[in-house]
Amino acid sequence: MSILIKNGRIITASADYVADLYIEGETITAIGENLNKEADEVIDASGKLVFPGGIDPHVHLEMPFMGTFSSDSYETGTLAALHGGTTMVIDFILQTQGKSLRNALESWQGRSNGNCYGDYSFHMAVTDFNDETKKEVKEMIEKEGITSFKTFMAYKGALMIDDGQMIGLMKEVKEQGGMVTVHATNGDMIDTLIAKHKAEGKLSPLYHYLSQPEITEAEASGRFADMANYSGVPAYIVHMTCEGALNAIRRAGSRNQKVYAETCIQYLILDASLYEKDFEGAKWVMSPPLREKKDQAALWAGINQGLVQVVATDHCPFEWEKKLMGKDDFSKIPNGHPAVENRMELLFSEGVNKGKISLNKYVEVTSTNAAKIFGMFPRKGCIGIGSDADIVIFDPNEKHTISAKTHHMNVDYSGYEGWELKGKCKTIILRGQVAVENGNVRIDKGYGQFIKRSKVPQNV
């Protein structure tokens, strides 16, 4: 199978030019002006932008959480991602406390194997670090190609580890060539505030937000950066939301330590005023919560200053019926919101079109940086000869409106209902196959592959 893409405006993290692209099998084999090649399929991309396929390194598909499962399966979640220009996701395996990493891996493989439309990988969340877990770190990296280890500084009793376990894990991951990532909020502070609000009868979604003030994230981000500095491990903070946390990594930078930071699309464009909508605010109950306008400004600036490398989603959808589990108690509302299908188009419309980020920065934060940080570059995250032909052909002028009635995510509401966007993913190619064209799916379930990742550079 070969594809010739004619006259597209190719945008990478560092270049912007009009050319033809030639794809043979799963890879890009030629780039140039007026390529004279026979192809099974020719796509005219005149007037369109051509991006590397999006990589969303923070999604939760079919994840057991807060007494239920996130509502997108590997099938529906990776297909929705493709519709929105994201050709690869990295999902999270959660170790069950008292059980092994291998046990968790097998259970996640049971749900994902053979069911994905798009490519995928896993981060391994270590929720119980002990002598047995320690032995499994090397095996995960070398045998399974799972090179990033997620930690939680919150969700005590289910997912949270203490600082002693954190240091132990960091040392072992450093030794074996991996990276430690973190949900950086102070779980004890949050639990105390939740208990206080409940005791006072303050039970609406607004109190989810008020139980996780900025300081809980700023403190944990600084502590995590300090522990990573002490152990020397490459470090990455997921879903960063606020100025205080950003300042913590800015301080780390001033001692020459690199702490990678990811924010998510919602933290750039939504704010905490949504929690004032009574129970409707449950649509945006997530952890950390939405913040203030001043935090949005800090995050956009952080992207342009190179402090924030990735814009992900933390896609973790729950149907409205599941959100209602917390009707009378905000602490029972399953945390998370749907966005994997919307990330690329929202960031283009709200970021590029509004002059907040350049086209090159757009590609960096939606694709290239994630591929580099998580050990997949240059196979993924770039348009270059020899790279996987993961391509988005994008119409920068097409207008459309987000709605749960038309989205492909398996959830009955959208946190962005009625938002009018300019810029649409038209053709999405995954490893040399047209996966989606004008909304029509052209691949089968199971085409998506598990991508083994490389060790992470340790020169931090």
237 binds ligand URP (CB under 6 A): no
Our CB check for ligand URP shows the closer of 76 and 335 to be 335
Size of the site for ligand URP (CB under 6 A): 8
**Which helix (H) or strand (E) is 101 found in, with range?**
helix 101-112
Residue 384 CB, shortest distance to ligand URP, in Å, is 32
Cα–Cα distance for residue pair 294/157, rounded to 1 Å: 33
* Residues 327-346, mask of contacts with ligand URP (x by CB under 6 A): --------xx----------
Closest-CB residue for Zn ion? 183
Asked if 20 contacts 5 with a C-beta cutoff of 8 angstroms, the reply is yes
Our CB check for ligand URP shows the closer of 53 and 338 to be 338
314 binds ligand URP (CB under 6 A): yes
Residue 47 CB, shortest distance to Zn ion, in Å, is 37
Residue 344's binding partner out of ligand URP, Zn ion, none, with CB under 5 to 8 Å set by partner kind? none
Closest-CB residue for ligand URP? 335
In the list 286, 308, 312, 392, the residue contacting ligand URP (rule: CB under 6 A) is 286
Beta bridge partners of 89: 56, 120
- Tokens in use for 339? 């966005």
Residue 168 CB, shortest distance to ligand URP, in Å, is 22
**What is the per-residue DSSP string for 232-258?**
T--EEE-S---HHHHHHHHHHHHTT--
Our CB check for ligand URP shows the closer of 11 and 240 to be 240
Distances in Å between the Cα of 120 and the Cα atoms of 74, 200, 278 are 9, 44, 37
Residue 94 CB, shortest distance to ligand URP, in Å, is 9
258-269 b/e (C-beta count within 10 Å ≥ 16 → b): ebbbbbbbbbbb
Our CB check for ligand URP shows the closer of 13 and 124 to be 124
421-447 b/e (C-beta count within 10 Å ≥ 16 → b): bbbbbbbbbbbbbbbbeeeebebeeeb
- Tokens in use for 102? 């291998």
Asked if 56 contacts 312 with a C-beta cutoff of 8 angstroms, the reply is yes
Footprint of Zn ion on this chain (CB under 5 A)? Answer: 183, 314
60 binds ligand URP (CB under 6 A): yes
Residue 286's binding partner out of Zn ion, ligand URP, none, with CB under 5 to 8 Å set by partner kind? ligand URP
Cα–Cα distance for residue pair 312/208, rounded to 1 Å: 22
Residue 124 CB, shortest distance to Zn ion, in Å, is 14
* Residues 180-219, mask of contacts with ligand URP (x by CB under 6 A): ---x------------------------------------
Cα–Cα distance for residue pair 229/232, rounded to 1 Å: 5
Enumerate binding residues for ligand URP (CB under 6 A): 60, 183, 286-287, 314, 316, 335-336
